[in-house]
C-alpha cells in the first residue's frame, strides 16, 4: 500500500482484509492470462465493489477509514467490522472472486502487489 493512489487505497485495503472478492466468470468469458485480462478483471471487480459499497454506507465508511490507517491497524479494524457484518464480508468476497479465479486459471501469483503496480504505473 506504499504508493497506491488514495482513491484506490481504501478498496485495496479492504481486499487485503477480506481476501480475494466477484462472481465466477463462465468458461466462455474467462479473461486471458495477459495484462489486458488482468486489467479487465480488476475493472469489473472494482466497479461491482463500488456499486456494492454505495449501497452499504457502513461498509464503505469502514473501508474508507481503514485507508488512512497503518496496514496492521487497518487489518484489525476491518476484521472487527466484518466479524460483526459477515453478510457484507461474504458479499464482497463473492464480488472479488474473479481475481482469485484469474490467479488459479493463469497459475500465477497475480495479487494485490501486481495490481497495485499496474495501477501505479498507469497513474504516473
Low-confidence ranges of the chain (pLDDT < 50): 1-10, 12-28
- Rg of the chain over Cα atoms, rounded to whole angstroms, equals 14
Given the C-alpha cell 497495485, which residue does it identify? 116
pLDDT for position 111: 66
Query: Dihedral, CA atoms, 48, 38, 93, 44, nearest 10 degrees?
Result: 10
- How far, in Å, CA of 89 to CA of 37, rounded? 25
Query: Helices (DSSP H) in the chain: which residue ranges?
Result: 9-18, 35-55, 57-66, 71-83, 86-95, 97-106, 112-123
8 A C-beta contact, residue 98 and residue 41:
yes
pLDDT for the residue numbered 86 = 96
What pLDDT does 113 receive? 73
- pTM for the model stands at 0.67
pLDDT value of residue 80:
96
pLDDT of residue 44: 92
Amino acid at each position: 500500500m506504499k504508493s497506491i493512489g488514495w482513491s484506490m487505497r481504501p478498496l485495496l485495503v479492504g481486499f487485503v482484509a477480506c481476501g480475494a472478492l466477484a462472481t465466477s466468470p463462465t468458461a466462455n468469458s474467462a479473461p486471458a492470462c495477459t495484462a489486458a485480462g488482468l486489467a479487465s478483471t480488476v475493472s469489473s471487480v472494482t466497479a461491482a465493489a463500488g456499486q456494492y459499497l454505495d449501497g452499504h454506507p457502513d461498509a464503505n465508511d469502514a473501508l474508507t477509514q481503514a485507508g488512512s490507517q497503518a496496514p496492521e491497524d487497518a487489518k484489525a479494524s476491518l476484521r472487527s467490522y466484518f466479524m460483526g457484518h459477515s453478510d457484507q464480508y461474504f458479499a464482497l468476497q463473492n464480488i472479488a472472486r474473479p481475481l482469485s479465479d484469474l490467479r488459479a486459471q493463469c497459475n500465477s501469483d497475480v495479487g494485490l502487489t501486481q495490481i497495485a503496480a499496474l495501477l501505479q504505473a498507469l497513474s504516473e
